[in-house]
């Protein structure tokens, strides 16, 4: 069997993240919902190249939640929050997605519950509660302060401990006080959370994105963090815990787990995927946080490739619901944001590994401007969660086809030209480009599972080759100047241009010696197996 046939569904195609609050509002309350997702499944994959052709969607939490962290504070893991719809809506979503060949990955948030979850209410009811040990409770330090120096991941929160007057102890929360950490040292907690996985697997989900997985194992002695040594995350016990999670997943066929491994150290990241019995995929935040420089991306991809075993599969992403969007954070000037968004999409879709795309990334959406009186998130993440602009505000009203009501967050200012409707009518748009890109990837097994080899080129150009049954050369200009490609070494002299991020670039045979990249331009060039041009 060839390598192509061996590639699993989660290796071949694009995985598209939907933040349900912001994707599409079907019931007119200003907040997105599951019916809204169902209504737009054809946009994601209708089986033709007029859609994005995604392989799977990953849904951020839609479970019952008081929404202190907009769904990442869960009060019932096995029910749909009424804001998002009903369990019937969810079942229909699975069925409609399956009909279109779209897999469904859901978020699993095992590190913490909501403080409104019955487990926590019971745990907080008394020191003698049967569920007291389901969370992390400790006596105050001798001075009455928190038990150790651990801090919440959210700067605005400060200490990771909150004092509970009624029972006279502190409880641990790695995020907001409304998100108490579960005690994973307690086997009952572990078993209960495994049951949550089985519940959704039995309902037909294809996998999970695991929230804050690196937080699931902490120093059981709760020692202070020191400079360079963290005791509140990535404790060695994580790997045994992860293997047990994987064993639950492997009770079912063809499922996937992708972990939010927010560790800014590739050596530690690869430990989550190298053994083959832990995560299938790990979100790589080192890559995510790179500066927009060819040399930085080249070095990081090379380091990852050296550290990861050949059997470990990479995942690449540059946007999610927690950070500024590419078109804003990588913009050198107003006009380069859109151009770089296209080049970034080409990068994640052509490296060896699974690309993750965040809703609106295919439109090159920038962050939204959030006036002070509209700020709702504790950690400044509202700008990247702005509603999906489907239609032109001048024709459809200020909700831009996302909602008929006041949207829960402001719509971006450029919605008139950046919305789906406008971009769909423009063959030079970012959306038109991304559709060509994802379809090229789905047509070409080489782009899905071919080998990766880095190529020397001009300093501002990140260049690599993919090879399987075909050969492709990808060249990405990370500068906003025109740059000669300047291929080094055993480079071929000619190629066939398959796709450019630059709408004016003509397709066809090109001479690689003379090739000059436009500002911020990315190219996919097909090489003949022998190195000569083939059209
Ligand atoms: C990571 C999620 O992506 C983020 O949105 C959330 O606030 C924290 N984990 C806590 O669940």
Q: What is the pLDDT of residues 498-522, one digit of tens each?
A: 999 999 998 899 999 999 999 999 9
CB of 212 within 6 A of ligand 1: the answer is yes
Instruction: Answer for the pair 60, 73: CB distance below 8 angstroms, yes or no.
Output: no
pLDDT band at 2 (very low <50, low <70, confident <90, very high): very low
| pLDDT score, position 532 | 41
Global pTM? 0.97
| pLDDT score, position 505 | 95
User: Ligand 1: which of 20, 182, 322, 376 to mutate, judged by most atoms within 8 Å of the beta carbon?
Assistant: 322
Q: Is 89 a catalytic residue?
A: no
- Check whether 314 has a pLDDT greater than 70: yes
Enclosing H/E stretch for 207: strand 207-210
| pLDDT score, position 410 | 98
- Check whether 530 has a pLDDT greater than 70: no
| 42: nearest Cα among 424, 385, 526, 337 | 424
Catalytic site residue from 251, 335, 426, 514:
251
Mean pLDDT of 424-451: 97
Please give the number of the atom of ligand 1 that sits closest to the Cα of 73.
11
Beta carbons within 8 Å of 401's beta carbon, 6+ residues apart:
389, 390, 391, 392, 419, 420, 421
Percent of the chain with pLDDT strictly greater than 90: 95
- Check whether 315 has a pLDDT greater than 90: yes
Going from the C-alpha of 5 to that of each of 13, 149, 462, 513, the distances in angstroms are: 14, 51, 29, 36
User: In whole angstroms, what separates CA 197 from the centre of its chain?
Assistant: 20
In angstroms, the CA 201 to CA 204 distance is 5
Three-state secondary-structure class, residue 95: helix
Q: What is the 3-state secondary structure (H, E, C) of 141-157?
A: CCCCCCCCCCECCCCCC
| pLDDT score, position 416 | 98
Picking from 253-262, 304-313, 328-337, 361-370, which range would have the lowest pLDDT averaged per residue?
328-337
Query: In 449-475, which positions are buried (b, 16+ CB within 10 angstroms) versus exposed (e)?
Result: bbebeebebbebbbbbbbebebbbbbb
Among protein residues, the one whose CA lies closest to atom 2 of ligand 1? 211
Q: Is 115 a catalytic residue?
A: no
Mean pLDDT of 374-387: 98
CB of 108 within 6 A of ligand 1: the answer is no
pLDDT in tens, 125-175: 999 999 999 999 999 999 999 999 999 999 999 999 999 999 999 999 999
Per the DSSP assignment, residues forming a β-bridge with 258 are 209, 281
pLDDT band at 1 (very low <50, low <70, confident <90, very high): very low
Q: Ligand 1 centroid vs 103 CA: distance in angstroms? A: 22
Q: Ligand 1 centroid vs 147 CA: distance in angstroms? A: 24
pLDDT in tens, 95-126: 999 999 999 999 999 999 999 999 999 999 99
| 483: nearest Cα among 511, 522, 444, 453 | 522
pLDDT in tens, 459-471: 999 999 999 999 9
pLDDT band at 531 (very low <50, low <70, confident <90, very high): very low
- Average pLDDT value over all residues in the chain: 96
- Check whether 88 has a pLDDT greater than 60: yes
pLDDT in tens, 241-293: 999 999 999 999 999 999 999 999 999 999 999 999 999 999 999 999 999 99
| pLDDT score, position 217 | 98
| pLDDT score, position 6 | 65
CB of 182 within 6 A of ligand 1: the answer is no
Instruction: Answer for the pair 442, 432: CB distance below 8 angstroms, yes or no.
Output: no
Instruction: Answer for the pair 435, 52: CB distance below 8 angstroms, yes or no.
Output: yes
Task: Label residue 48 exposed, middle or buried (CB < 10 Å: 0-12, 13-18, 19+).
Answer: exposed
Q: Ligand 1 centroid vs 211 CA: distance in angstroms? A: 6
pLDDT in tens, 201-237: 999 999 999 999 999 999 999 999 999 999 999 999 9
User: Ligand 1: which of 179, 182, 211 to mutate, judged by most atoms within 8 Å of the beta carbon?
Assistant: 211
Task: Label residue 121 exposed, middle or buried (CB < 10 Å: 0-12, 13-18, 19+).
Answer: middle
Among protein residues, the one whose CA lies closest to atom 5 of ligand 1? 322
pLDDT in tens, 14-48: 999 999 999 999 999 999 999 999 999 999 999 99
Catalytic site residue from 115, 190, 211, 361:
211
CB of 322 within 6 A of ligand 1: the answer is yes
Enclosing H/E stretch for 261: strand 256-261
**Strand 354-358 and strand 15-18: pairing?**
parallel
Instruction: Answer for the pair 245, 216: CB distance below 8 angstroms, yes or no.
Output: no
Among protein residues, the one whose CA lies closest to atom 11 of ligand 1? 72
| pLDDT score, position 213 | 98
Q: Ligand 1 centroid vs 71 CA: distance in angstroms? A: 9
CB of 70 within 6 A of ligand 1: the answer is no
């Amino acid at each position: 069997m060839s390598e192509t046939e061996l590639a699993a569904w989660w290796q071949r195609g694009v995985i598209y993240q939907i933040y349900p609050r912001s994707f599409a509002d079907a019931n007119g309350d200003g907040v997105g919902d599951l019916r809204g997702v169902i209504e737009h499944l054809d946009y994601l994959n209708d089986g033709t190249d007029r859609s994005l052709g995604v392989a799977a969607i990953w849904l951020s939490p839609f479970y019952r939640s008081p929404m202190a962290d907009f769904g990442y504070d869960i009060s019932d893991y096995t029910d749909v929050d009424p804001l998002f719809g009903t369990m019937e809506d969810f079942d229909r979503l699975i069925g409609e997605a399956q009909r279109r060949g779209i897999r469904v990955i859901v978020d699993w948030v095992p590190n913490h519950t909501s403080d409104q979850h019955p487990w926590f209410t019971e745990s907080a009811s008394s020191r003698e509660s049967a569920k007291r040990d389901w969370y992390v409770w400790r006596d105050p330090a001798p001075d009455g302060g928190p038990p150790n120096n651990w801090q919440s991941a959210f700067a605005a929160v400060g200490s990771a401990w909150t004092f509970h007057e009624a029972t006279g102890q502190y409880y641990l929360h790695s995020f907001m006080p409304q998100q108490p950490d579960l005690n994973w040292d307690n086997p009952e907690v572990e078993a209960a959370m495994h049951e949550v996985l089985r519940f959704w697997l039995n309902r037909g989900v294809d996998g999970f994105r695991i929230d804050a997985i690196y937080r699931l194992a902490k120093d059981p002695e709760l020692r202070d963090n020191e400079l360079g040594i963290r005791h509140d995350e990535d404790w060695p016990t994580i790997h045994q815990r992860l293997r047990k999670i994987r064993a639950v997943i492997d009770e079912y066929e063809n499922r996937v787990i992708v972990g939010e491994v927010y560790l800014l150290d590739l050596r530690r990241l690869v430990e989550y995927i190298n053994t083959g019995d832990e995560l299938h995929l790990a979100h790589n935040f080192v890559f995510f946080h790179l500066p927009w420089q060819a040399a930085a991306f080249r070095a990081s991809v090379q380091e990852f490739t050296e550290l990861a075993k050949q059997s470990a599969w990479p995942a690449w992403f540059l946007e999610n619901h927690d950070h500024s969007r590419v078109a804003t954070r990588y913009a050198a000037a107003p006009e380069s944001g859109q151009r770089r968004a296209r080049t970034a999409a080409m990068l994640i879709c052509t490296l060896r590994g699974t690309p993750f795309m965040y809703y609106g990334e295919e439109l090159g959406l920038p962050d939204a401007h959030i006036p002070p009186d509209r700020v709702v998130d504790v950690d400044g993440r509202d700008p990247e969660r702005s509603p999906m602009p489907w239609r032109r505000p001048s024709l459809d009203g200020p909700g831009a086809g996302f909602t008929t009501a006041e949207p829960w967050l402001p719509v971006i200012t450029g919605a008139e030209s950046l919305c789906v409707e406008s971009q769909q009518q423009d063959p030079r748009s970012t959306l038109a480009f991304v559709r060509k890109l994802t379809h090229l990837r789905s047509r070409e097994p080489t782009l899905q599972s071919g080998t990766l080899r880095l190529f020397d080129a001009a300093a501002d150009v990140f260049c690599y080759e993919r090879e399987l049954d075909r050969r492709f050369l990808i060249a990405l200009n990370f500068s906003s100047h025109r740059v000669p490609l300047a291929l080094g070494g055993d480079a071929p002299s000619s190629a066939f241009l398959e796709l450019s991020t630059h709408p004016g670039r003509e397709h066809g045979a090109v001479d690689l010696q003379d090739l000059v990249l436009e500002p911020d331009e990315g190219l996919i060039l097909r090489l003949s197996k022998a190195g000569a041009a083939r059209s």
